[in-house]
Amino acid sequence: MTDSQFDHQAIRSQFPALQQQLGDNPLCYLDTAATSQKPQCVIDAMNHYYRLDNANVHRAAHQLAARATLQYEQVRAQVQGFINAASTQQVIFTHGTTESINMVAHGLTDLFKAGDVILVDSAAHHANIVPWQALAQRTGAKVIPIPLDANGCLNLSAYDALLTQVPKLVALSHVTNAMGTINPVKAMVAKANNVGAMTLIDGAQAVAHLNVDVQAIDCDYYVFSGHKMYGPTGVGILYGKLDALEKLTPMLTGGEMIKTVSFEGTSYTELPNRLEAGTPAISAVIGLGAAITFLSELPQALIHQHEQQLIGYLQQQLSQLSDISVYGVTPNNDNIGAVAFNLADEHHQDVGILLDQQGVAIRGGHHCAMPLMQSLQIKGCCRASIGIYSNQQDVDRFIHALTEVKSILL
């Protein structure tokens, strides 16, 4: 398949940030796993809200508030369709994946006791590790990591063995942020369900690349962020089965989420408002809706094929360079979105800085996945990650720039 089969350049041209120069070089953006660039339609939707519809939602009788509320709730329905939730009541707006996971970890506190087991993906982002550690500290529960194999992937045999401990909750990544490894979450959730465990899936790295069906996965909670899927920062989603969401004690209390308040006591309103205290990030929610519209109008099968071929090409080109170590490539080669690597024993930050001087933006560090880095016996690594706007020219420029970096450092 070539880019011209679905006019890839027309897609790329909708992202104004990609048209800029960095010094003498055009921007080559390979840091989408950290945050995606935004299409013009997302920028326009947020601008339109602030210019013409700026009002708080759900609260006033005037027309601006009615327009803002309509747009806000329409996005909830969009998200429902985007992830195939059964009801809009199951879609909770948050400020991002991190807040979503913390809301669940905080909200389940009263259901945990000393000795309860929480199984956590060892390759997970810190946001899907630390909240469970905090829950364990509050309750006396214990967090047990699911071991990784030699490729940095979850050891499924070890997972099966850990399930015999009858965990109370299992927390997994759908796609790992550091290496783009796709985990078999549907099968893993089914096994967790068989032992009565609750399940939470971090989908932050998945929603921009895969068709997510939360009913098919059958997890209790699924969380993700808008800024990883071509939407704005400051907005995320907590999806939950209705009974799972009803279990949560609200982390935030205040306006909008109450039914009655008196000094004798307070009662909370129904879902989803019960978990959305205070003024939400209205413009960001509207921007998220524009991003979903943008994605839904693209040829999904061709986009997925393009991204898979581009990741394969990136892996292939890196493997042809000497002194390069590539991490986390699975036997089935089904990684998506990102490739992790190091140049000999050179510090990842040095590599990233020298690439930036040639207009190439990648990420260097532990990628908020320090347990994974420890498992790989490295302190950190470089990560090149792609989006729907990325093309072969980006990869070729990156490889050329990395070759220049090699000549400087080695």
Joined tokens for residue 119: 């199984």
- In 58-79, which positions are buried (b, 16+ CB within 10 angstroms) versus exposed (e)? eeeeeeebebbbebbeebbebb
Select from 384, 383, 370, 382 the least CA-distant residue to 123.
370
Q: What is the DSSP letter of 18?
A: G
Task: Kindly give, in sequence order, each residue whose CB lies less than 8 Å from that of residue 396, ignoring residues fewer than 6 positions away.
Answer: 317
Write down the residue that tokens 């660039």 correspond to: 37
Q: What is the pairing mode between strands 221-225 and 198-202?
A: parallel
Of 41, 219, 368, 381, which residue is the catalytic one? 368
- Listed in order, strand segments (DSSP E) in 191-329 are 198-202, 221-225, 236-240, 258-262, 265-268, 324-327
Joined tokens for residue 204: 């932050």
Query: Which helix (H) or strand (E) is 311 found in, with range?
Result: helix 300-319
Is 368 a known active-site residue? yes
Select from 187, 188, 186, 222 the least CA-distant residue to 205.
222
Q: What is the DSSP letter of 154?
A: B
Catalytic (active-site) positions: 368
